[in-house]
Amino acid sequence: MYTFDSRIRYSETDSEGKLTMASIINYFQDCSTFQSEDLGLGVAKLRQMHLVWVLSSWQIVVERYPALGERVAIGTVPYGLKGFLGYRNFLMMDEKGEYLAKANSLWSLLDTRTNKPAAVPQIMMEGYRLGEKLEMDYAPRRIAVPLGGVLREPVVVRQHHLDTNHHVNNQQFIDIAMDYLPEGFAVKQVRAEYKKQAFLGDVLMPRVAQTQDNVCVTLENQEGGLYVAAEFARLD
């Protein structure tokens, strides 16, 4: 398990002074990035090897949103490397060692020259020490998108949506989707299935479908192709 400690900053909180879902995702991304950098398998090394990790799916479960100033520990454990796929858990804990959030994720390794899957190289197999999967209620990776969603105003991809891979960061997709949640909807769980990368100038067409328990937001291109499907379950 790779971990780092932090403290909830004002810039990471919402209007109620609680950590936002976007900030939870950023902490998790930072944790895996820090691990890779410390192992010599970070951004620069990936560029040298013409490789990039692209997120295929998220499942994030929140037990409690920490408040401004709380001290937290963030951890990650890769638990599987197979073919071009990487499996990784994340967690966030408070000072008492109680879980604030857990996550499961699936990543695909791509060759940046061809944009096609690439087998995980031996240097990564040896560098990442695989651990045990976290205990959590694992949900299916694929999301069943309800029929009859309502199409909303398009969103144009801007510079601030992009990361070092020059595509829309997975957290930015979730942030955009959360803009279409009903007022006062506190998220207990988010599941996201990523299907296609989006780049500067692309137009995202949000489609929103609400059931009794969940809200599903898809971000599509203008031809109806899917970038991401995100399903949000309400916090009790």
pLDDT at residue 166 in the model: 87
Q: What is the pLDDT of residues 55-112, one digit of tens each?
A: 999 999 999 999 999 999 999 999 999 999 999 999 999 999 999 999 999 999 999 9
Clarify whether residues 182 and 122 are in a common domain.
Answer: no
In a domain, 133, yes or no: no
In the chain, the amino acid numbered 78 is P
In a domain, 21, yes or no: yes
Residue 21 has pLDDT above 80, yes or no: yes
Q: Report, as an integer, the average pLDDT of 26-41.
A: 97
In a domain, 140, yes or no: no
In a domain, 160, yes or no: yes
Clarify whether residues 76 and 185 are in a common domain.
Answer: no
* CATH code of the domain covering residue 8: 3.10.129.10
Clarify whether residues 112 and 7 are in a common domain.
Answer: yes
- The partner residues of 114 in beta bridges, in order of sequence, read none
Q: Is 53 exposed, middle or buried (0-12, 13-18, 19+ CB in 10 A)?
A: buried
Q: Report, as an integer, the average pLDDT of 24-29.
A: 97
pLDDT at residue 224 in the model: 87
How far is it, in rounded angstroms, from Cα 93 to Cα 64? 10
Clarify whether residues 23 and 120 are in a common domain.
Answer: yes
The tokens describing 178, both together, are: 């959360």
Clarify whether residues 118 and 181 are in a common domain.
Answer: no
Q: What's the CA angle centered on 232, arms 227 and 236, to 5 degrees?
A: 170
Q: What is the pLDDT of residues 160-204, one digit of tens each?
A: 999 888 899 989 999 999 999 998 899 999 999 999 999 999 999
How far is it, in rounded angstroms, from Cα 92 to Cα 77? 12
DSSP result, 67-129: BTT-EEEEEEEEEEEETTEEEEEEEEE-TTS-EEEEEEEEEEEEETTTTEE-PPPHHHHHHS-
Query: What are phi and psi for residue 43, nearest 5 degrees?
Result: -55, -50
- The partner residues of 117 in beta bridges, in order of sequence, read 110
pLDDT at residue 160 in the model: 94
Q: What is the pLDDT of residues 165-175, one digit of tens each?
A: 889 998 999 99
Q: What is the pLDDT of residues 108-156, one digit of tens each?
A: 999 999 999 999 999 999 999 899 999 999 999 999 998 889 999 999 9
pLDDT at residue 212 in the model: 80
Q: Report, as an integer, the average pLDDT of 212-218.
A: 91
pLDDT at residue 33 in the model: 96
Clarify whether residues 193 and 102 are in a common domain.
Answer: no
The tokens describing 60, both together, are: 């994030």
Residue 236 has pLDDT above 80, yes or no: no
**E strand map for the chain:** 2-7, 51-62, 71-82, 85-93, 99-111, 116-117, 150-151, 155-156, 187-194, 203-210, 214-220, 226-234
Cβ–Cβ under 8 Å, residues 142 and 151: no
Cβ–Cβ under 8 Å, residues 145 and 232: no
Stated length of the chain: 236
User: What is the number of other CB atoms lying within 10 angstroms of the CB of residue 144?
Assistant: 9
In a domain, 135, yes or no: no
Clarify whether residues 21 and 70 are in a common domain.
Answer: yes
Tell me which residue range forms the domain holding 222: 150-234
Count of the separate structural domains present in the chain: 2
C-alpha distances in angstroms, 166 versus 34, 118, 193?
A: 20, 19, 20
Cβ–Cβ under 8 Å, residues 74 and 27: yes
Clarify whether residues 208 and 93 are in a common domain.
Answer: no
Clarify whether residues 29 and 82 are in a common domain.
Answer: yes
Clarify whether residues 230 and 115 are in a common domain.
Answer: no
